[in-house]
């Protein structure tokens, strides 16, 4: 009888899916909303989930970049492919840095996937850890942070579209789901398919079992950024709307 009980416990434990590294790399418990290192114009610890003002956008929609020495040739090709999604659908242009004083440095040897939001001045890092972040969708997601965007599931109007099950959220991580209080509307409604939307088990106490983000529409299945190959059209539209005074097509 004891043996049967032990086998049953082992079977249940084995049935719980492991958290994918691609997810844990984006759900950093010590970062704002999981993958935001800092925000232009805001003190650490006092961040407000809002799309930034004009003074924190990249002038002309041009984002100079450099690759850290850790980024190999395959990773460079993947990142450039993600940048091409911006080039094909928005007015944003990522250009190799020459002498620009404000630019992003993309590295692959730091821990996790994260970015600053908006231009903070000088060199700012975008971390795309080789172990978990090298997916085109993840790269697009972090680059969207860098040009000034937050998460879709933290929009002020999100309660009409998703329910956050705080009872399933890891203890101390509840603030990762705080709604935007000061947000700038940039012409698009809530979109489950946004590349800025987290998946069903973000910060869950039991990945694959205890859901934390549940759509109010029962027909919607949320997917993680790393499972997407391009930004949604609404993402592209919002970028163009936000940068309408900065760049042209």
Catalytic residues: 142
Structure tokens at 153: 């599931």
Helix %, strand %, coil % of the chain (to 5): 30, 15, 55
Q: Binding residue per annotation — 141?
A: yes
Q: Binding residue per annotation — 153?
A: no
Contact call for residues 39 and 118 (beta carbons, < 8 A): yes
> What is d(CA 142, CA 128) in angstroms, rounded to the nearest whole number?
8
Considering only CA atoms, which of 187, 168, 188 is closest in space to residue 176?
A: 168
Contact call for residues 102 and 63 (beta carbons, < 8 A): no
Q: Binding residue per annotation — 151?
A: yes
Binding-site residues, in ranges, read 141, 145, 151
Binding-site residues for Zn(2+), in ranges, read 141, 145, 151
């Amino acid at each position: 009888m004891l043996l049967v009980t032990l086998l049953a416990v082992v079977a249940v434990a084995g049935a719980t899916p492991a958290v994918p590294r691609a997810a844990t790399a984006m759900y950093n418990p010590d970062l704002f909303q999981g993958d935001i290192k800092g925000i232009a114009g805001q003190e650490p610890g006092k961040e407000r989930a809002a799309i930034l003002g004009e003074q924190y956008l990249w002038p002309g929609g041009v984002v100079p970049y450099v690759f850290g020495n850790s980024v190999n040739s395959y990773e460079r090709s993947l990142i450039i492919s993600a940048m091409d999604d911006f080039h094909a659908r928005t007015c944003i242009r990522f250009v190799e840095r020459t002498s620009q004083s404000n630019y992003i440095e993309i590295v692959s040897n730091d821990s996790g996937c994260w970015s600053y939001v908006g231009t903070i001045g000088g060199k700012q890092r975008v971390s795309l850890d080789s172990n978990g972040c090298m997916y085109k969708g993840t790269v697009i997601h972090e680059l969207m942070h860098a040009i000034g965007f937050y998460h879709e599931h933290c929009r002020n109007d999100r309660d009409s579209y998703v329910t956050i099950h705080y009872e399933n959220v890891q203890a101390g991580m509840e603030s990762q789901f705080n709604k935007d209080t000061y947000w700038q509307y940039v012409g698009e409604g809530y979109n489950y398919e946004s590349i800025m939307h987290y998946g069903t088990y973000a910060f869950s106490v039991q990945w694959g079992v205890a859901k934390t983000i549940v759509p109010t529409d029962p027909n919607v299945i949320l997917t993680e950024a790393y499972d997407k190959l391009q930004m949604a059209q609404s993402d592209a539209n919002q970028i163009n709307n936000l940068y309408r005074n900065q760049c042209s097509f």
